[in-house]
Structure 1
Amino acid sequence: MRRLTLLLLFLVSIPISAQVIYEPFYSSKLGDTREIKIQLPRNYNPEEKNKYPLIIVLDGDYLFEPFAGNLDYQTYWGGIPKCVVVGINQVETREKDLFYDKDIYFPAHEGASFFEFIGMELIPFIENKYNVSNFRILTGHDSSANFLNYYLFKDNPLFRAYIAFSPDLAPEMANRVQERLTYINTDTFYYLATADNDIAQLKDKILTHNSLLASLDNPKLHYRFDNFTDADHYSLVSLGIPRALNNIFALYKPISKQEYTDQVLTYEGGPFKYLEKKYNDIKLFYGFEKKVVENDMKAIAAAAIKKDDLDALKELSKLARKEYPDSMISAYFTGMYYEQENNLKKALQYYQSGLLLKASDFIDKDVLLDKIYSLKDEN
């Protein structure tokens, strides 16, 4: 419990440095005005062409801040992409927003209106006003975690990822979701969480829900389930948010030691081709481009040297000069290529030229000087 308490205090203490906007939103579908919260990424510039994933947070009254804080923290370190987060306050309208018919168990009356409000009004509004991609995530807790499932049953679902924290599942929901996800043909993420001390009547249904989903064999479904120890119906949310986001954005993450060993070194096309494939997959999968990060360049350089792949190093040096022309890494990787080619004079020229450029996360003057002195000693 101490670990959980510290985590909660940490998340609450994170300053929301990204831009947060609070504004009323009139909905003709609801015939009412709703309060929404919008967090934009740090240094958001509407004039830039960057596209950001969109996260819609139901129960925004209490779920928005934990999501916004955790997201801001993780994006600061580059583990997941920057996103636009939109929370919908429901404290006074929750019961009617999430209403479903007691005979067919699908949204009806106010619930049907709320369903249409998100898809037909809120999302188009956000898309027209902010730079968001078509990679959308929907999240909820308890009754709202049940409601998010209804978007799966559209012919062309609006969302690519669903995060359900301790859902209060409607009758037949588990069977219906299993059937839908069996045949879904678009890459879809589904995250489900409960806890040891979750509400018993909810947990029994959630465990059944998990057993049905875990049995599916659909390569388009990316499913994860967590049953947290030492947590309850409310505290499991703080533990589940980073798990869910890391699972959804696993492909986006920088190359890890395991990925380096299992995939980079064994890729048939060679290290640089693997790098190209990884970043093309990110663009295809998430709907936006990611600039090649220095960590991944280091991994590809190491693999190229290990496999004696000069062509990979040559292509990497071109990429470094293109993506980071004012950074020391452009000179460093070009110098590395010529050094491996045994053209030490040209390697030395590039290492020396890098001293006039800006230091990067891994390459500074000390690194370049070590290379320069080493080559001079060899001559």
Structure 2
Amino acid sequence: MKKFYTLIIFCLVVFNIQAQAIYKSIDSYKLGQERELKVQLPRNYDPESKRTYPLVIVLDGDYLFEPVAGNIDYQAYWEDIPDCIVVGVKQADTREDDLFYAEETSFPIHEGADFYEFMGAELIPFIEQNYKASKFRIIVGHDKSANYINYYLFKDVPMFRAFISLSPDFAPKIADRLTQRLAIIEQETFYYMATADADLKVLRESIVEADSTIKSIENPKLQYTFDNFEDANHYSLVGRGIPKALNEIFSLYKPINGKEYNEKVLTYEGSPYDYLVKKYEDIEYFYGFEKKLIENDIRAIAAASKKKDDLESLENLAKLVKKKFPKSMLSAYYMGMYYEKEGNLRKALIRYKSGLLLEPSQYIDKEIMLEKIYDLQEETDN
């Protein structure tokens, strides 16, 4: 197990070398001082592009930024989650003031209230003015900062859509108020919370108690996930919670896997092609940006169309692929597959041959195209 976690840490370090942090500072009127930030942009970030990226704000950025940024860079590389802009807020010298709340109300006052205003009125506008950030925002906190992120849920329209709360040190009454708020929230919201068997005892008890009430909430707008890790403590649970949280938050974004294929694609009331269209429309709706069609999903929908003998679905897929990838062998391959399934072997052969002049894709290359051509020629000759 130790070797496994060592390998994961090594991978994150190697990947993070490719995405170095940019150090910025923002002169805050609300705080009356400059505040240092760490910013990680996606590897292929283009400031001139129309594309926008989910924004991840990391409190306790002095130590929490690197594990969050490393996990995002790693998972985005494999297309499990989208590229994101990650911003860490350094708080090493101001943590107690930033996260301060009134004992009577459990809500921020004085410096804590100033920091609350700084986040919404200064930090996010600063990021949006300088980088291509989308409206889908995630906030991450640990310990006291995990408690603090909950305050942003109490706005009529929360500025964050996803919350990653790692071993929260709840202010008095906040866990109860959090449950009440999540029960009536009207915006699609992702909420992740984690503790561990060796977490600080006083925190663990309140977290487990909070989970028992939150998980009973019946609100279709809430996607809630809780982890109670074994063989982890207050600090090591961070390394295990972050990838799990990202996994849940971007579950809809993920490529179609075997489970989704069997349980959702094949059982969908409409056609496999309709499922694909809805999946990508939902991604744009939930995350605020259009996901580029990926080859993995094309293969899954083609397989489902063939399995269900849905020729219309396969034709629509082939037309979509041709539109999205006109210079790729993909366009010729799937149009050829459609004509082959239709029984028009002459047209299928023409399509496959035309693909030899196009660019190979991740899975389709010249050898595969030639194999299809030889098979069809043999079949037509007989």
User: Structure 2 length as normaliser, TM-score?
Assistant: 0.97
- 1:152 is aligned to 2:153: yes
Contact map agreement 1:136 1:160 (CA 8 A) in 2: yes
The CA RMSD measured in Å over matched residues stands at: 1.1
**Structure 1 residue 319: Cα displacement:** 0.8
Partner of 1:318: 319
Partner of 2:306: 305
- 1:92 is aligned to 2:89: no
Please, which moves more after superposition, 142-151 or 212-221?
212-221
Could you tell me how far apart the structure 1 residues matched to 2:20 and 2:277 are?
Answer: 33
- 1:35 is aligned to 2:33: no
**Structure 1 residue 12: Cα displacement:** 3.6
Could you tell me how far apart the structure 2 residues matched to 1:310 and 1:197 are?
Answer: 56
Partner of 1:346: 347
Could you tell me how far apart the structure 1 residues matched to 2:377 and 2:9 are?
Answer: 54
Could you tell me how far apart the structure 2 residues matched to 1:13 and 1:199 are?
Answer: 31
Equivalenced residues, count: 379
**Structure 1 residue 250: Cα displacement:** 0.2
* 1:130-150 per-position Cα deviation (integer Å, ceiling 9, x unaligned): 111111000010000000000
1:103-118 pair list within 5 angstroms: 103-118=104-119
Partner of 1:288: 289
Could you tell me how far apart the structure 1 residues matched to 2:41 and 2:141 are?
Answer: 20
- 1:246 is aligned to 2:252: no
* Structure 1 residue identity aligned to 2:21: V
- 1:232 is aligned to 2:233: yes
- 1:376 is aligned to 2:372: no
For the structure 1 residues 13 and 46, does the alpha-carbon distance in structure 2 shift closer, same or farther, using more than 3 Å as the test? closer
Could you tell me how far apart the structure 2 residues matched to 1:78 and 1:215 are?
Answer: 33
* Structure 2 residue identity aligned to 1:376: Q
Could you tell me how far apart the structure 1 residues matched to 2:210 and 2:15 are?
Answer: 34
Partner of 1:191: 192
Query: Matched residue of 2:21: which SS?
Result: strand
Query: Matched residue of 2:16: which SS?
Result: coil
**Structure 1 residue 11: Cα displacement:** 3.0
Could you tell me how far apart the structure 1 residues matched to 2:332 and 2:142 are?
Answer: 50
* Structure 1 residue identity aligned to 2:184: Y
* 1:25-56 per-position Cα deviation (integer Å, ceiling 9, x unaligned): 11000001010011110110011111110000
Could you tell me how far apart the structure 2 residues matched to 1:15 and 1:54 are?
Answer: 18
Could you tell me how far apart the structure 1 residues matched to 2:366 and 2:259 are?
Answer: 30
**Structure 1 residue 265: Cα displacement:** 1.3
Could you tell me how far apart the structure 2 residues matched to 1:338 and 1:13 are?
Answer: 45
Contact map agreement 1:174 1:212 (CA 8 A) in 2: no
Could you tell me how far apart the structure 2 residues matched to 1:76 and 1:13 are?
Answer: 12
For structure 1, the 5+ residue unaligned runs are none
**Structure 1 residue 307: Cα displacement:** 1.1
Could you tell me how far apart the structure 2 residues matched to 1:9 and 1:129 are?
Answer: 31
For structure 2, the 5+ residue unaligned runs are none
Contact map agreement 1:195 1:236 (CA 8 A) in 2: yes
**Structure 1 residue 15: Cα displacement:** 3.1
**Structure 1 residue 19: Cα displacement:** 5.1
Partner of 1:174: 175
Contact map agreement 1:328 1:359 (CA 8 A) in 2: yes
* Structure 2 residue identity aligned to 1:175: D
* Structure 2 residue identity aligned to 1:273: D
* 1:180-218 per-position Cα deviation (integer Å, ceiling 9, x unaligned): 001011110100001111111111111111111111111
Could you tell me how far apart the structure 2 residues matched to 1:105 and 1:351 are?
Answer: 67
Could you tell me how far apart the structure 2 residues matched to 1:159 and 1:196 are?
Answer: 29
**Structure 1 residue 284: Cα displacement:** 0.6
Contact map agreement 2:157 2:187 (CA 8 A) in 1: no
Query: Matched residue of 1:14: which SS?
Result: helix
